[in-house]
Structure 1
């Protein structure tokens, strides 16, 4: 066997970024506007217009557009412009499958490791959700809903799972925002209460079942939302 030698590489010292890049900020802003439907499907967008409105060069906007296209939220046609994509039922169901597979496991893990402080933290989020639902504050409820799911991942010791879920679940978020009536918020709240109760009891099978039931409800909403907002969905009838 030959003598092993340590490779001699002339590499620069990298400085970790201390804040998000301009492209990251543009991406997050536009993605949020798309998910909350402030930029609804079929909205026309242009690099030049966005760059002027944000006071940035076109390069970070171009990068943000490409990221949003890869995730399925923009359709970029060089000859005819860029538009916000239609909502894809297929993408929603894929996202639901990924979330269910991952979150049932983090919920099982939570049953093994959660202590009284973890339970109290989730209960506090549920209490805040109850207030938001009473006020019919859909935007705040949606944020607190996300905080609840993220907290289960993080407090069970698997915070990296939320990073995997985050971009995929975005396709579910547009439908969620369309469906977050006062009644829907209160139903989601009841499901969160059931999930937390199962975790607190240490019953991993019940907790996983409650999480599966909660995430699967998106399937019953799709047809209802499609009927009310048909022009915003990909036409699969052909």
Structure 2
């Protein structure tokens, strides 16, 4: 499957639900539950400190408690759940130090990705990223912030796929729950979504222009926004930290 088609399958699954994904039958129930619960935690449907019942989740998804238990254990490894044996399970509070660490890794990766892409003269290298950006603009116009946020991740994933390092992106993304929750708390701020689209357009334009210095500056500015606002985010949502 080529880069564009693989990302569009992922976008279809992310936006419209797993039943539309032809690959869903290849993963276990535990993996499906893990993905569903992770999405609900990162989107803040399940808020930090909220208790989760294994029995209720199993009933909701129509599965036994075993895949729910396995999914929860993996989410605990990722730092998104806290499991108190024989007692309760809670959504973890947002860890700022962990968010900064993940952001450091992501910035390091994306600086190299965009530098490589700016040096690459293939005309079709940004086709998927352009398509995802168009979808993201449409999501904003429709007022769908949830879809906008999911497409935001797909945009950056498309750049990594274009550079041939999609596995590195997946590794970082699997540990990005804390920084992603911060971003989702920051997303409704006035002007934030328009600012994201501005930077995404600038990144693509500067890659196409082959301007490595300019694209590095743009990526640094773009990825610094959420952590720069962390004090204000904490002040608005003190119970989440």
Same fold by TM-score greater than 0.5: yes
CA distance in 2 between partners of 1:229 and 1:119 (Å): 37
1:203 maps onto 2:211 in alignment: yes
Pairs aligned (count): 217
CA distance in 1 between partners of 2:175 and 2:120 (Å): 26
1:52 maps onto 2:59 in alignment: yes
Segment of structure 1 superposing worse, 28-37 or 117-126? 117-126
Match of 1:116, SS? coil
CA distance in 1 between partners of 2:56 and 2:230 (Å): 33
CA distance in 2 between partners of 1:114 and 1:141 (Å): 29
Report the Cα offset of residue 54 of structure 1.
1.6
Asked if the contact 2:126–2:162 (Cα under 8 Å) also holds between the matched residues in 1, the reply is: no
Runs of 5+ unmatched residues, structure 1: 1-16, 234-238
Match of 2:124, SS? helix
* Aligned counterpart for 1:140 among listed residues 117, 125, 147: 147
1:216 maps onto 2:224 in alignment: yes
Any idea what the Cα deviations from partners look like across 1:14-38, whole Å, max 9, x if unmatched?
A: xxx9611011011001000000111
Asked if the contact 2:42–2:180 (Cα under 8 Å) also holds between the matched residues in 1, the reply is: yes
CA distance in 2 between partners of 1:126 and 1:55 (Å): 36
Report the Cα offset of residue 120 of structure 1.
4.0
Asked if the contact 2:118–2:210 (Cα under 8 Å) also holds between the matched residues in 1, the reply is: yes
Aligned to 2:235: 227
Aligned to 2:105: 98
Aligned to 2:38: 31
Report the Cα offset of residue 51 of structure 1.
1.4
Flag the structure with larger Rg.
1
Runs of 5+ unmatched residues, structure 2: 1-23
Aligned to 1:10: none
Any idea what the Cα deviations from partners look like across 1:196-221, whole Å, max 9, x if unmatched?
A: 12101112222122112211112122
Any idea what the Cα deviations from partners look like across 1:127-167, whole Å, max 9, x if unmatched?
A: 33223223332111112211110111111222222112211
1:122 maps onto 2:122 in alignment: no
User: Which structure 1 residue ranges, 4+ long, deviate > 6 Å from structure 2?
Assistant: none
Any idea what the Cα deviations from partners look like across 1:70-118, whole Å, max 9, x if unmatched?
A: 1100011114311001111111111111100111111111112253223
Aligned to 1:8: none
Report the Cα offset of residue 231 of structure 1.
0.6
CA distance in 1 between partners of 2:158 and 2:93 (Å): 31
